[in-house]
Structure 1
Amino acid sequence: MSKGYHLLVLHAHLPYIKHIESMDVLEERWLYEAITETYIPLIRLLNKQVSDNIEGSITISISPTLISMLTDKLLQERYLFSIVNSQELAHKELKRNKDDPAYYNLAAFYLELLHHAEATFKQYDNNLITAFKYLADKGKIELITTCATHGFLPLYQEYPQSVKAQVQGALDLYQSQLGRLPRGMWLPECGYYPGLDAMLTECGLDYTFVESHGLLNATPQPKYASFAPVATSSGLCVFARDSQSSKQVWSAEEGYPGDPDYREFYRDIGYELPLKYLANCLPGGDVRTQTGFKYYRITGKTEAKKPYKPEWGKSKADMHAQHYMEQRVKQIEDLSRNMQLPPVILSPFDAELFGHWWFEGPVWLDYYMRKVASDQSSYELITPSNYLDKNLTLQQADPASSSWGANGYADVWLDDSNKWIYPLVHSAVQDMVELARYFQTPSPIETRALQQAAREVLLAQSSDWPFIIKTNTVTPYAEKRVKEHLEHFEALKKGLWEKSIDEDYLSRLEIMNSICPNINYTLFR
């Protein structure tokens, strides 16, 4: 038996954003950036590990909203348009920097990355879910899911129908796209409340994750703190996040991403060069935003940034991967002295940290996985299902209410800035329950309207909207999205009750907000 286990979980999620009326919407670019900077680099490095027979597996949670966007034909076409647009900008940058070798070489470096991204995207017929499925079939990753629209479940616990719709809706989409059911689920924002485990096991799930204090405050108190999973009274296996191994990776202040040799995220030519020069790459031609062309390294706490050197960043990623592995060896050895079970270290991260926010993240991950594979005497890099299949005896305990984020409970998703959302959405949930119970044998068009009404309620529940409002980033957009989904629901509800469904309006909504195509509205009964 191994001395210990490291579970590395990447949570890939973006809010559902699809604007059929325009291809020039700023927020829709979040998807294209993540594809180029995170998802494709991860796919490429993991594919290379498969071909190199590198042992060790990680877990990737892909949200239903992200699956829906990655499999959407319109968004696939728009991504290819955006990548060609970026390549054109790269050629312009080569000309602009032809007399400055440092910046010219960086422009050439980005052009090569863009060509790799386009080639990889087309390799899978524009559908990256196919790539992730291949990696899962090869055992390199375990694919799991999260809730249908990433709703923060603790704030809807008084409406079990809504929680069931979030959970089961996600599982139905996952099965339709991947041909199987996941064993685990990432709880949006790690939001857990007592009793949720019963819902998850009822839906056929074997495990989930919580923030460390959710397990530390469990009843009874776990014998091994957060370093071994527990089995709840309903039989769900619950793993807890390890703060030490997590902070080293995600924290720009205390972790690796803040190293002076890594690429500076915030210095982008989209904010620095003349608008006329950038017009073809900016929303509306005049809204400054990220272009992906970043020429500086972090350097230090100074505005006088030095040119980025990819080889330096790669070298530091190698060094930090070695350090990270050595720290896990020490951590597991220290814990093993006082444990009868092999310690389990859970390190969950937003997938978009790797590549988008931390440019060298995928390189670091590749180095780390290869180093662990070559040093098999210390610990194993495995998935939760790998662990469960070992059939170890787990302590029974029931986790406490918890989430990740500031203060560790629901503070981020419920405060004075966003609290107005919940009475409105709760009212819509109640109305949806009433509709689902009343329409026992709906006509075909009534079934479509009920399904779309369910989608609109779920989309209004997305945890992304209150998060954006709380952090005051693109607040007007988030507020607009909540209100629009509720307006759509009200219009559909009115048409259902009055037997006057506007089919043209319904059809437009089905195209615009097409998540979970097989959504079962009766989950709200």
Structure 2
Amino acid sequence: MNNSRVISLVLDLHKPFVRHPEMDQAQEERWFFEALSDTYLPLLEVFDRLDAEHIPFKIALSLSPTLCHMLRDEYLLERYLKYVDRQIEFGVRELERTAGEDEIHRLALNFYDQAVEKRVLFTERYEGNILRGFDHYQRKGRVELLTTAATHAFLPLYSNYPEAIQAQFETAIASHRILFGKNPHGFWLPELGWSPEMDRYLRAYNFSYTIVDTHSLCMEDHPESRGSFYPVKTPAGVFILARDFYAGRELEEAKFACHMDPLYRDYLRDAGFELPTEALSSFLEANGARKATGYKYWASGNNQIYDPQKALERVKAAASSFLDARISRFNSVAEYMDGCPISLCAYNADLFGRFWYEGPAFIEALYREGAHRTGLQFMNPAEYLYKQDASGFRTAMPEFSSWGVNGYGEMWLDASNDWLYRHALRSLERMIELAERFPDDTGLKERALNQAAREILLVQCSDWPKMLYKQENTLYARNQVEAALRNFTTIYESLGSNYISTEWLTSLERRHNIFPTVNYRVFRHKR
């Protein structure tokens, strides 16, 4: 181990809870469908190929409880299959339309084949449950599964409300245990949002480690002399690993490159926005608005037709350069190290496939190339920590940080979104009040209290303030927050008047059916 250099790849797989059975086709549900088709299934295909060829790979995946629920929701999965079927149906028409255009016809056939393969893979190999695939590789020791806060809340903003943080932790742990049969070693801080208060919660819930952004370690009072290349231990005994700043920046540049590189596929140009409306049929909104079909024929930054083979060669070169850069960084810090250095490469999983089409191929190329690099190993965080001498870890308290804009909390609290916290915190206080006032209720009242807990958890999702900050899907984000607040308030007032509409509550339970085993008592004071 002493002569080794370790790379640990960690991906955050998360989607906010989006579910609209009241609508024929909800545009926002496509976020989930696209991630499933373009990122999650391709990742499993990469694992299958590497495993079949006995190429060693280790990767850690943080699976958010909201995403896990959506991946098991029969209604959403039925809609997902309809989405894939529309792509297949569209592909049949595209093969006819492009019959005289050799290059585009080959691409249309390629995208059509991929859609068919994904449907078969999803329905037959995984029987509609891709969590089994991730768990399979976890049991083989290839994949480490982490959990995160129940609704991916930006936890530092709730540090004055321990009941909120304990509800996020306990609901997440219960969900993970039901799905995978054991507690995870690591906890992914949503948006890498760390504050010193997190230390005691991580210890209380028996998590071995968490991950912070680079500056959290490098800018504390007594910076770790080994920078982000070696863990530290908090006063409570939680191990802290820091994200490799340069590895993060290099792939952020790759994300930019996938919109500009003349060989990568253009994410934005889609046949659904270019063909005549009569050729689109099922890819039109009810109001005639166009939607992406997944058939993207153009390379980025020019008018050239996309060439998958040239893009694959570019990806292989990019993976080799990425490993060269990691080794170069290891060499530059060697004189400061007295332990085995680690480059922890943490990313949003959507980068690989959904936004950067060649992303899964990049991950596969990393492992294939890395297998031939002497002195370089891929490890999961828990495995790496297990193999270190923990007595050599310095005790330190990382600084408040995130991986958001400018590295702190402004993305989740600024003039664009600060209004929501006034209402969210007032409702949270009322939820705590309800949990204390009705500690032992059963029947209809318990159902109402559990639904109130779901609504409060949904309000705390970090995606809504982030969308408001970035001015993306702002109306939808605001509606999601306001709807959950209204639902909670209705329940609160109904409990106060001792009258609950069974019909209304049942309808809400069916729409917001997340966390079926939630217990509202998680919001009680801990004594």
Please name the residue that 2:477 is paired with: 478
In 2, Cα distance between the equivalents of 1:26 and 1:524? 33
2:173 touches 2:183 (CA, 8 Å); kept in 1?
A: yes
Please name the residue that 2:317 is paired with: 319
1:209 is paired with a residue of what secondary structure? Answer: strand
Please name the residue that 2:334 is paired with: 336
Worse overlay, 93-102 or 248-257: 248-257
Worse overlay, 251-260 or 326-335: 251-260
2:225 is paired with a residue of what secondary structure? Answer: coil
Q: How does 1:202-217 map to 2 (within 5 A)?
A: 202-217=204-219
2:231 touches 2:393 (CA, 8 Å); kept in 1?
A: yes
2:255 touches 2:356 (CA, 8 Å); kept in 1?
A: no
Deviation at 1:520, TM superposition (A): 2.2
Deviation at 1:497, TM superposition (A): 2.0
Please name the residue that 2:62 is paired with: 61
2:258 touches 2:265 (CA, 8 Å); kept in 1?
A: no
Unaligned runs of 5+ in 1: none
2:194 is paired with a residue of what secondary structure? Answer: coil
1:364 aligns with 2:370: no
Deviation at 1:255, TM superposition (A): 5.8
Per-residue CA deviation, residues 413-449 of structure 1 (Å, 9 max, x unaligned), is 1111111110010001000000001111102221111
Please name the residue that 2:283 is paired with: 281
Deviation at 1:404, TM superposition (A): 1.1
1:64 touches 1:515 (CA, 8 Å); kept in 2?
A: no
Please name the residue that 2:461 is paired with: 462
Deviation at 1:283, TM superposition (A): 3.1
**Aligned to 2:381, which of 378, 381, 384?**
384
In 2, Cα distance between the equivalents of 1:45 and 1:81? 25
Please name the residue that 1:135 is paired with: 137
Q: How does 1:230-379 map to 2 (within 5 A)?
A: 230-252=232-254, 258-284=260-286, 286-298=288-300, 300=301, 304-375=302-373, 377-379=374-376
2:346 is paired with a residue of what secondary structure? Answer: strand
TM-score (norm 2): 0.96
Deviation at 1:287, TM superposition (A): 2.3
Q: Specify the code of the residue in structure 2 equivalent to 1:439.
A: F
Per-residue CA deviation, residues 171-196 of structure 1 (Å, 9 max, x unaligned), is 11011111111111111111111121
In 2, Cα distance between the equivalents of 1:396 and 1:14? 34
2:230 is paired with a residue of what secondary structure? Answer: coil
Q: How does 1:143-222 map to 2 (within 5 A)?
A: 143-222=145-224
1:281 touches 1:291 (CA, 8 Å); kept in 2?
A: yes
Deviation at 1:201, TM superposition (A): 1.3
Deviation at 1:406, TM superposition (A): 1.1
Q: In structure 2, do the counterparts of structure 1 residues 523 and 33 end up closer, same or farther at CA, with 3 Å as the change threshold?
A: same
In 2, Cα distance between the equivalents of 1:105 and 1:87? 15
1:149 is paired with a residue of what secondary structure? Answer: coil
Give 4+ residue runs of structure 1 displaced > 6 Å after superposition. none
1:279 touches 1:285 (CA, 8 Å); kept in 2?
A: no
Aligned length: 520
In 2, Cα distance between the equivalents of 1:337 and 1:477? 52
2:46 touches 2:364 (CA, 8 Å); kept in 1?
A: yes
Deviation at 1:256, TM superposition (A): 6.9
2:213 touches 2:403 (CA, 8 Å); kept in 1?
A: yes
In 2, Cα distance between the equivalents of 1:397 and 1:284? 56
1:261 is paired with a residue of what secondary structure? Answer: coil
1:60 is paired with a residue of what secondary structure? Answer: strand
In 1, Cα distance between the equivalents of 2:120 and 2:137? 18
In 2, Cα distance between the equivalents of 1:256 and 1:224? 33
Q: Specify the code of the residue in structure 2 equivalent to 1:389.
A: Y
Deviation at 1:275, TM superposition (A): 2.5
2:61 is paired with a residue of what secondary structure? Answer: strand
Worse overlay, 176-185 or 491-500: 491-500
In 2, Cα distance between the equivalents of 1:253 and 1:427? 39
Q: How does 1:5-24 map to 2 (within 5 A)?
A: 5-24=6-25
1:170 touches 1:516 (CA, 8 Å); kept in 2?
A: no
Please name the residue that 2:31 is paired with: 30
2:227 is paired with a residue of what secondary structure? Answer: coil
